Amino acid sequence: MSSPYLLIPISLAITIYYLLGSLMVQAGIISFSTHRKFWNFALLFVFLGCAILGILLTININYKLGWSYVKVILQWHVQLGIAMSVVAFIHTLWHRGYFSKYLLFRGRQTKTVTVNTQQQLVKSAFALGLLSVSLQVLLIRQFTKVFQGNEFLITWIIGIWMLLSAAGAIAGSRTANGINPQKLTRMALGFMFLSAIIFIFLSGEIRQTFFPSGVLIPPYHVIVMIVVMMTPTAFPSGMVYALLTKQIKSEYPSIYAYEALGSLAGGLLLSLVIIWIFNTYLAAIAVGFLASLIIAYPLKNIAKLAIPLALLTIGISVKTLNFDIKAESMLFPGQKVLSVTDSPYGSITVNGSEDQFNFFENGTMLFGTQNTIYCEEVVHYTMAQRYMPSKVLLVSGGYAGLIDELKKYKQVKKVDYVEPNPHLLRMSRNYCKVDFPDNTKIINSDIRGFLRKSSEKYDIAIITTPEPTSLEQNRFFTIEFLELLKKHLTADGVLSISLSGIGNYPSAPRQKAYTSITATFKSVFRKVEVISGERDYLLASDSTIRIDMAQLLSEQNIGEANLYVRPDYINDEHIAQRNHFFHEQTQSTQKINTDNHPWPVLQNTLGYLSMFGDKIWLLLVVGAVLLLIPFFVTNYHLRAMYAVGFAGSAIQTLYLLTLQIAAGLLYGTLGAMIALFMGGLALGSMAYGKVISIKPKHIKISLIGSFIILFALFITMMHVEIWLLIAIVSAGILIASFSVGYLYISITENSNSNPNQPAKTYAADLMGSAAGIVIVTLLLIPSIGFLSSISVLLVFIGIYLFLKV
């Protein structure tokens, strides 16, 4: 069989969702009999399916019918057999009471009332916040790498998390009275952690099982897989929050505040400490270790250290036995993974052997060593444009072999090699044995920040970053960046940047993306030409650009030591034909690529979606509209909380994406920014009723003010230092979240006294937050850009807050 049998995915899915159901039984959300009936029916269906398909296979063999679809029948027969085996094992566990008189479930009738102090409950809430946000960020990191997504996928995953947590909160509001919240919380947190660990370590194998390397994954399959893998972690987090608020009804603000403070602690520890020490796999274990210590405190009984010590042992074993490397290898079948680490810009993986190494960021290849053709083309096509260039700016790729090619130009006095990612720089040094000459200066800085401070002028600038399929990569193709870079070029300086070949039959979105990039270059430079080779090299200058490379190399006496970029190897006629074809394909009028409206990113996304039919966008838009339904069907108070949640998540999303555009630091700062948002929620909830000087109108003004701050920041971000940019983003997120936290308590207090009201308000907040993320990233930014999106939200949210909330 060419397709593998789904042993691990089926077994994992059934086991984890069975345990999730058992957790709901323990909480009294569903009865034991209902849970048991569900799995009995599941056993019946998989048994009947397996039996019927087995009979069909027998008939085909006995009577030599030669059915063409026998392989499909066999495939489904085995898959259902796997499912039947797992469900049958669960069924057997239920009936072991015949032998030991011990049932796996006791049912609701055996639950006893346990007295819980407020201190114990707020400690549980703190641990819940720390674990849930940390695991959320780690799952986002892993899924971004596994599915090779961009910033929009990250925001959609956050939206999915919020929806699942909202569903958990609604379910948790139905928990039975008389249960032991401490015991149930420990069980839920343990289940959340176990589920997250399993999917973090096995997500690569699950992806390869369903979609082997080279197979493009449909967007709805990605969403389904993320929902399936996130539900066991996100759903219990909302459920436990609802349970805790029910236990101390009059003090639910304390639960809300401590859960947010736990989230703050978890996010900050993850972003500022853990990520700099461990990769995603080890970071997940470290987070579990910290959460288990919090739950075990105070350590009056040494037995409480059993779980923390077990996790510590597991973490050491994972590192010692390279289980993290083995897990990463599932994403790169047939390749030897040498190292995996997390960085502020993404997860970096190195694979290869001996002298040939490949570097990947979030599953996308950055560069590989020993690629002589690429190194010669990108350097010599650019350097040959000017006689005796003396100063060169190189952005990334120095360890790929470009420095070795630049060494051939003895007249070069200075090479500034800018590499913003410190982890990538360190790993490149470890694996790539490059001897940097004395004239080369390695600069570990973001290129925009470096250029703002530098007064240097360069004859040649070579940018080797990937093409703009994400906001991080698009930063190097916008008119704002090109105008900044042009100020640091000499009068006849040359800029080179490369794109994957446009091909002979480009799709409409790809053609529009390349046309936008070309139009953006032409709006800044007088001359823009393309030289096609292993990639399409876009050369720009205010002076002459020549494409007759064989003649030019001969005139410049360049190429004697080259293997491929030589006068006797290059065909000028072919280059001229490809140049003419490229200009023909990119001559239509397209939008200029700007920070405000990243047009190529949108077109690349459209190109991806168009591969799966014309109705994909329609389905996504319908899904976004469905998220708005709760706003129209809930009561006044829940509708107000939905709107506040929408505003809070919308502004947070816009701040995060602005940070990515300006500095490319979203991946590294995501945990800290979510932590700040949760910290603001905690401060706002604690301030309600205690800080008399704060009035509801002040809170509404502050929420509107966070939009105004963002608008001003977006306009001026090209002139703001990175540290100040991060500080303003942090302040804006904190102001917005403080307002949301304050309004959550205010709206809940002013609604009815139903003990389930805090959970319902919490669920409305999460559903509004999910809608805010999706509407902003799916509809507003692609259609009208960042500044217009901020303006539209500012007007409509401001009107609603002052008229309705």
* Better-scored residue on pLDDT, 16 or 344: 16
pLDDT confidence bin for 112, thresholds 50/70/90: very low
pLDDT confidence bin for 114, thresholds 50/70/90: very low
User: Cα separations (Å) of 614 from 147, 620, 774?
Assistant: 22, 11, 20
Asked which of 567, 595, 623 is the last residue of a domain, the reply is 595
The alpha carbons of the chain give a radius of gyration, in whole angstroms, of 29
Residue 747: the pLDDT is: 87
Q: Is residue 357 in some structural domain?
A: no
Say which CATH number the domain at 648 has. 1.20.1250
Q: Are residues 469 and 432 in the same domain?
A: yes
Q: Which residues contact 180 (CB under 8 A, 6 or more apart)?
A: 111, 112, 114, 116
Asked which of 331, 353, 375 is the last residue of a domain, the reply is 331
For residue 358, the cross-strand partners are 351, 368
* Better-scored residue on pLDDT, 125 or 710: 710
Q: Is 13 exposed, middle or buried (0-12, 13-18, 19+ CB in 10 A)?
A: middle
Q: Is residue 524 in some structural domain?
A: yes
pLDDT digits 0-9 by tens, 634-658:
888 889 899 999 999 999 999 999 9
Q: Are residues 324 and 272 in the same domain?
A: yes
Q: Are residues 161 and 295 in the same domain?
A: yes
Mean pLDDT of 603-618: 74
Q: Which two tokens stand for residue 649?
A: 């998540």
Please spell the DSSP secondary structure of 186-200, one letter per residue. Answer: HHHHHHHHHHHHHHH
Q: Are residues 245 and 283 in the same domain?
A: yes
Q: Is 55 exposed, middle or buried (0-12, 13-18, 19+ CB in 10 A)?
A: exposed
Residue 102: the pLDDT is: 42
323-326 contacts, C-beta under 8 A, 24 or more apart: 323/201, 323/281, 324/279, 324/281, 324/282
Task: Work out the end-to-end distance of the chain between its first and last CA atoms, rounded to an integer number of angstroms.
Answer: 60
Q: Is 675 exposed, middle or buried (0-12, 13-18, 19+ CB in 10 A)?
A: buried
Q: Are residues 103 and 140 in the same domain?
A: no
Q: Are residues 37 and 146 in the same domain?
A: no
Mean pLDDT of 435-446: 90
Residue 680: the pLDDT is: 85
Contact 291, 189 (CB under 8 A): yes
Q: Is residue 347 in some structural domain?
A: no
Tell me how far apart the alpha carbons of residues 378 and 428 are, in angstroms, rounded to a whole number.
Answer: 19
Tell me how far apart the alpha carbons of residues 130 and 266 are, in angstroms, rounded to a whole number.
Answer: 4
Contact 359, 428 (CB under 8 A): yes
Of 313, 353, 319, nearest to 337 by C-alpha is 353
Q: Is residue 352 in some structural domain?
A: no
Of 324, 257, 255, 321, nearest to 286 by C-alpha is 324
Residue 458 has pLDDT above 90, yes or no: yes
Residue 282: the pLDDT is: 92
Query: Which residue is associated with the tokens 């995603």?
Result: 280
Q: Are residues 103 and 131 in the same domain?
A: no
Residue 3: the pLDDT is: 58
Residue 395: the pLDDT is: 93
pLDDT digits 0-9 by tens, 24-39:
888 788 888 888 888 8
394 SS3 class: strand
441 SS3 class: strand
3-state helix/strand/coil string of 211-253: CCCCCCCCHHHHHHHHHHHHHHHHHHHHHHHHHHHHHCHHHHH
**Full domain range(s) for residue 154:** 121-207+219-331
Mean pLDDT of 178-201: 85
Tell me how far apart the alpha carbons of residues 359 and 351 are, in angstroms, rounded to a whole number.
Answer: 7
Query: Residues of the chain with pLDDT > 70: what percent?
Result: 92
pLDDT confidence bin for 213, thresholds 50/70/90: confident
Q: Is residue 46 in some structural domain?
A: yes
Q: Which two tokens stand for residue 692?
A: 């008399």
Q: Are residues 193 and 277 in the same domain?
A: yes
Asked which of 14-28, 54-68, 333-347, 737-751 is least confident by mean pLDDT, the reply is: 54-68
Say how many domains are in the chain. Answer: 4
Residue 2: the pLDDT is: 53
User: Cα separations (Å) of 709 from 30, 651, 716?
Assistant: 47, 10, 11
Residue 422: the pLDDT is: 81
Q: Is residue 606 in some structural domain?
A: no
Say which CATH number the domain at 445 has. 3.40.50.150
Asked which of 200-209, 243-252, 487-496 is least confident by mean pLDDT, the reply is: 243-252
Q: Is residue 496 in some structural domain?
A: yes
Q: Are residues 92 and 186 in the same domain?
A: no
Please spell the DSSP secondary structure of 371-388, one letter per residue. Answer: -HHHHHHHHHHHHTTSSS
Residue 705: the pLDDT is: 93
- 316-325, 427-436, 611-620, range with greatest mean pLDDT: 316-325
Q: Are residues 383 and 405 in the same domain?
A: yes
* Better-scored residue on pLDDT, 103 or 401: 401
Q: Is residue 470 in some structural domain?
A: yes
Q: Are residues 106 and 129 in the same domain?
A: no
Q: Are residues 619 and 479 in the same domain?
A: no
Tell me how far apart the alpha carbons of residues 213 and 333 are, in angstroms, rounded to a whole number.
Answer: 8
Length of the chain: 805
